[in-house]
Amino acid sequence: MLASVGEVDRRRLVGAMDTIRSVFEGVLPPRAVVLRPPLPGDLGWVVQRHGALYAAEYGLDATFEALVARIVADYATSHDPRTEAGWIAEVDGAPVGSIFCVRADEGVAKLRLLFVEPAARGMGVGGTLVDECVRFARRAGYREMVLYTQDVLLSARRIYQRAGFVLESATPAFVYGVDVAEEQWRLSL
């Protein structure tokens, strides 16, 4: 029966089977976070979820989704797998988060597009994604990692601080249809 089912749907089926088993056994299994490289369809999901969720939670307009689409398109068309990578976080076979490590400059990596679905927040997904991104940057030989965020993204900022990133600058700006402070963070690797 599973021969005609694709890899992504097989993982979803296994997750659903674990849920069924836990209901009948009356025990909630630990929900494991699995990181994997982006598969076909995942990059579109990254753009769509960033656009929809950031609009709903922070009031960002379509120009933010356009930025995410450009970042994803650049990654998809020209990334070097030796120095750049992306990850999709899954829980129970469903995508719940993303992150990308791309080259910013000679010796400098850039953390991009950290995202965690609301239902998966509090499970350590964001920290797991950031830790993997930093590990990859170190293995790829970068000497430091930078990132851009906004002051309203409080949970992400806490994750970055726990990972050792240091806030370098905060500049008030009107971007993506809202007033924010644009922040630059840096981590020595």
Between the alpha carbon of residue 153 and those of residues 72, 98, 174, 180, the distances in Å are 20, 15, 15, 10
- Which is more confidently placed, 133 or 17? 133
**For 155-173, what is the mean pLDDT?**
97
pLDDT score at 78:
95
pLDDT tens per residue, range 138-152 = 999 999 999 999 999
What percent of the chain has a predicted confidence (pLDDT) above 70? 92
pLDDT score at 24:
76
* Cβ density class 23-47: b for 16+ within 10 Å, e for less: eeeeeeeeeebebeebeeebbebbb
pLDDT score at 22:
65
Enter the pTM of the model: 0.84
pLDDT band at 20 (very low <50, low <70, confident <90, very high): confident
